[in-house]
Amino acid sequence: MDTTKKDSTSISSAPVERTPSLLDSAMGLKKRAMVDIYADDDEDAIDPVYQAKARLLNQVIQEIGMGRYQWSLFLVAGFGWFADSVWPLLSGLILAPVLSEFSFNGPFLSLAANIGLLVGAVVWGVGCDIWGRRWSFNLTLLITGIFGLSAGGAANFVSLASLIAVVGVGVGGNMPVDSAVFLDMVPGTHQYLLTVMSVWWAFGQLVVSLIAWPFIANFSCDPSTVTCARKDNMGWRYLLFTLGALTLFMWGLRFFVFTLLESPRYLVGLGKDEEAVEVIRKLAERNGSKTTLTATHLREAQDLVMEKYSRGADSAGSIYDVGRVERASRQPILSRSSVYGVGHIKALFRTRKLALSTTLLTALWGIIGLASTLYNNFLPFILNSRGTAFGDGSLNTTYRNQVILSVLGIPGALLAGWAVESPWIGRRGTLAVSSGLTGAFLLATTTARSSNALLGWNCAYAFNSNIMYGVLYALSPEVFPAKDRGTGNGLVSTATRVFGVIAPVIALYADLKTAAPVYIAGALIMVAGGMSLLLPYEPRGKASI
């Protein structure tokens, strides 16, 4: 990498030189030369000792550059996006044939799945800040694959719903953990790739739709049949067996082929500077590069902060007094005796501005989670029932349309990656525009008077919703500091899962033969688009710490 090239996303305005000491880089802390999300806006939102070390780590990772390790991580972390797309969508894809075989109230299957997703978001999101990224990263797909396979053999609805719920526990941890893992290791100049990562989400939708189409269309009971025997309705089981095996294969690649490095910022938060330096050294080796970083450099950065605060250099009136900084330097920010997640949650509300950011992000995830779950989980059912009303409601047509909708998500994800780096739009603008268009096109589906018109409006909805999700899934991890990122991701994921549980309950009492769920979903997403403009931080051009 050409380290003499100046970039707005670099955390140092001066060229980085490979010298025996990085003390000059640490001195940049005094000169306020490093650029990060909090540098000019709300630096007191984060512990100053941690912030100093994180900035130094950012510069070193930037110097090492985007190499083989990060591109491999883009691949295996993408499996989390893939799983998060495939398995929550599944309850909608198999709803019609499962209803034929087990004769239950449809929304209960989605309710079971979303309860599992809620538990997974809480456990894995908060947990990865307590016991580290690697355990969470490797276990989530294993749980998903094992119980996904088992669900294919369910003998009745209770066992199917129970197994799908456990699948949700595994899936619920993928997004909170995998986004934190990727962002912790990528250079600031390439943070936009977290938005592009949503291409895996779109690819997952496409793959599951392509698999579901032949299985369910050709191996399912005729919808007009009064009784449906298992032997005549194996399509949804074949789908679960296939997806379970595929998920286990992805887990195998993660566990046996790729070796995940622990987050150096997480280790610094624990006070393990030497281990953080060792991770940086391994990162450089895997990228065919070298680093001169040592634990001494991290301690020097810490000493500079201590000197700054001891001399009263913070004329702006920091919320940290000298005693507090000294205690922070002596004690790990995280410890094995920490109250489970409480300290990390408090850190996300430390100042008014950070509290506003966390609250708005949580609200956005909750609102969009409610709207999207209400609509997406019942989309195949809606396409089928509305198609029947239009004289075109065969399972073959329904799942063909689902494939078409899934294809459109891929260019949407790529466009999102470009838009978030655009100086005219940025993260917040892209989220606002895509949310507004998503809601508008969703409302427009109610005007369809033919099967093709319904498909057309849904194509526009699918394209824009993938942009919306791509930005939302990247914006939150970028804003949360690394030492609390898992908890922050878990918090917003919990919000969307809580409302994901509420959505099936609404569907239990709503008439799906009317457009009421669509009106509710469209209006909510448009409201979320307006709220996104109120977010206080714009990560574009700034390195996350």
Res 144 pLDDT > 90:
yes
- Give domain status of residue 199, yes or no: yes
Residue scoring higher pLDDT (544 or 207) = 207
> Sorting pLDDT into bands at 50, 70 and 90, what band is 378?
low
- Give domain status of residue 14, yes or no: no
Residue 377: per-residue pLDDT: 57
Assess contact for 431 and 234: CB atoms under 8 A.
no
Residue scoring higher pLDDT (261 or 44) = 261
For residue 543, the cross-strand partners are: 36
Per residue in 163-222, pLDDT (tens digit) is: 999 999 999 888 888 888 898 899 988 989 999 998 998 899 889 989 988 998 889 887
Residue 46: per-residue pLDDT: 63
Which of 114-118, 195-199, 540-544 is predicted least confidently? 540-544
CB neighbour list of residue 499: distance below 8 Å, 6 or more residues apart: 366, 367, 369, 370, 373
Q: What is the mean predicted confidence (pLDDT) over 139-165? A: 94
Res 11 pLDDT > 50:
no
Alpha carbons 460 and 441: distance in angstroms, whole number: 6
Q: Which of 126-135, 240-249, 458-467, 469-478 has the highest mean pLDDT?
A: 240-249
- Give domain status of residue 271, yes or no: no
Res 325 pLDDT > 90:
no
- Give domain status of residue 46, yes or no: no
For residue 124, give Cα distances in angstroms to 120, 182, 270, 387: 6, 16, 18, 40
- Give domain status of residue 237, yes or no: yes
> CB count, 10 Å around CB of 465?
29
Residue 394: per-residue pLDDT: 67
Res 463 pLDDT > 70:
yes
Alpha carbons 440 and 457: distance in angstroms, whole number: 10
Assess contact for 493 and 365: CB atoms under 8 A.
yes
Return phi, psi of residue 378, to 5°. Answer: -115, 10
Alpha carbons 487 and 492: distance in angstroms, whole number: 9
- Give domain status of residue 309, yes or no: no
> Sorting pLDDT into bands at 50, 70 and 90, what band is 278?
very high
**Residue 86, exposed/middle/buried by CB under 10 A (0-12, 13-18, 19+)?**
buried
> Sorting pLDDT into bands at 50, 70 and 90, what band is 515?
low
Alpha carbons 364 and 369: distance in angstroms, whole number: 8
Q: What is the mean predicted confidence (pLDDT) over 237-259? A: 95
Residue 28: per-residue pLDDT: 45
367: left (phi over 0), alpha (psi -120 to 50) or beta: alpha
Q: Which two tokens stand for residue 85?
A: 């797309």
**DSSP 8-state secondary structure symbol assigned to residue 262:** P
Return phi, psi of residue 101, to 5°. Answer: -85, -40
Which of 239-253, 410-424, 441-455 is predicted least confidently? 441-455
- Give domain status of residue 295, yes or no: no
Q: Which two tokens stand for residue 47?
A: 């512990």
Which domain does 89 fall in, by range? 68-262+348-532
Alpha carbons 265 and 175: distance in angstroms, whole number: 19
- CATH number of the domain at 253, please: 1.20.1250.20
Query: Mean pLDDT, the chain, as a whole number?
Result: 80
Residue 423: per-residue pLDDT: 82
- Structurally, the chain folds into a number of domains equal to 1
Query: Tokens 């094992």 sit at which residue?
Result: 146
The model's pTM is 0.79
Residue scoring higher pLDDT (460 or 27) = 460
Per residue in 41-98, pLDDT (tens digit) is: 454 456 778 888 888 998 999 999 999 999 999 999 999 999 998 998 888 788 888 8
Which of 37-51, 273-287, 464-478, 521-535 is predicted least confidently? 37-51
- Give domain status of residue 296, yes or no: no
Q: Which two tokens stand for residue 540?
A: 């574009």
Assess contact for 413 and 196: CB atoms under 8 A.
yes
